[in-house]
Structure 1
């Protein structure tokens, strides 16, 4: 199992898709969405105090549907749910955003695909990323795998990520399977409390 050292000025928290539709009140919302958001808010404050960059991503699509592509063929509901400017696609009002944070919109599941995240991180000398947010087995996992493919060290939060039930699997089953795979091949998996202690040194 990996045991990465956290060097604050070379680390970033990638807070994935803390949007209304994933946090609470929608079929796509995680059962423990608000509690996860609260834990991540606390972690983000710890990160800022330590000098760790905080990035908030949002999965949004153009109003005219011009960048939906194959996503719309796989799940036609994404255009309405993730349309730019919609209430469902907005960041949750309880998410704490600081002036020092970076806001990043992405058109696909992963935060690196078709965005300038790689440029932002490399410009700041970042070589380690912390992954939090929604959904564990979709956008969080995709972002973690993209990061490893770009040679970033990945710390993935077991209780700072969450997901909803999907056809054929419960949220708990998806969470367990995703964490097992990532911890074996792609990341150091740890709790928010464990990461907080690691940041404190």
Structure 2
């Protein structure tokens, strides 16, 4: 276990594994699903996010993210692109935060209250996009006093600059296999 995390209370966050991002989500899907299974065996909560906008055309006036990508480049909530990948292992009793509208999974969502209710102090980050939603959420978690574990092969696309930045000042970077080994050890204890 990385230093300072041996007695941590973990949660696994799976960010935006949606049809819109299938080209970068599918290559990491098996690693993410295997890590989800290990988290469940260790009784670690798994939380999913789903990014989308109810009305991108009108949100161009109020959302800098929609202005940046344009209404046509934004994910419409309820559309096929908005749906989670069909192969993603989401259990019916797990939380899906479908109110996410910006890169930071904490902003405007119930994420912090869910983590606090469960006394989580360490957030394991997986999903897409590494250099946008995953990195922004990792930084936000850190400044909100959560330990961060960032999965190098459980985030896509691979972005060496993000991995170096996270490792330098925001969290521990582990592979999914390394994380599963730690979670499997927790499950046995």
Q: Normalising by the residue count of structure 1, what TM-score does the alignment of the two structures yield?
A: 0.84
The aligned residue for residue 85 of structure 1 is 78
CA–CA separation in structure 2 for the residues paired with 1:53 and 1:88: 26
- 2:44 pairs with 1:60: no
Counterpart pick for 2:117 among 118, 123, 132 = 123
The aligned residue for residue 48 of structure 1 is 40
CA–CA separation in structure 2 for the residues paired with 1:190 and 1:97: 22
The aligned residue for residue 68 of structure 2 is 74
Maintained 8 Å contact 1:61/1:82: yes
1:104 deviates by 0.3
CA–CA separation in structure 2 for the residues paired with 1:86 and 1:80: 13
CA–CA separation in structure 2 for the residues paired with 1:67 and 1:48: 37
The aligned residue for residue 27 of structure 1 is none
The aligned residue for residue 104 of structure 1 is 97
Q: Aligned in 2, Cα 1:53/1:90: closer, same or farther, shift over 3 Å?
A: same
1:70 deviates by 1.4
Counterpart pick for 2:169 among 185, 194, 200 = 185
Q: Aligned in 2, Cα 1:16/1:6: closer, same or farther, shift over 3 Å?
A: farther
Maintained 8 Å contact 2:104/2:137: yes
Q: Normalising by the residue count of structure 2, what TM-score does the alignment of the two structures yield?
A: 0.89
CA–CA separation in structure 2 for the residues paired with 1:197 and 1:113: 31
The aligned residue for residue 114 of structure 1 is 108
Maintained 8 Å contact 1:3/1:188: no
CA–CA separation in structure 2 for the residues paired with 1:104 and 1:65: 22
Deviations 1:87-114 (CA, angstroms, capped at 9, x unpaired): 1111111111112311002011111001
Question: Which segments of 5 or more consecutive residues in structure 2 lack a partner in the other structure?
Answer: none
Q: Give the aligned CA root-mean-square deviation in angstroms.
A: 1.8
Q: Aligned in 2, Cα 1:65/1:127: closer, same or farther, shift over 3 Å?
A: farther
CA–CA separation in structure 1 for the residues paired with 2:95 and 2:57: 25
Q: Aligned in 2, Cα 1:4/1:41: closer, same or farther, shift over 3 Å?
A: farther
SS of aligned partner of 1:82: coil
Question: Which segments of 5 or more consecutive residues in structure 1 lack a partner in the other structure?
Answer: 25-29, 164-171
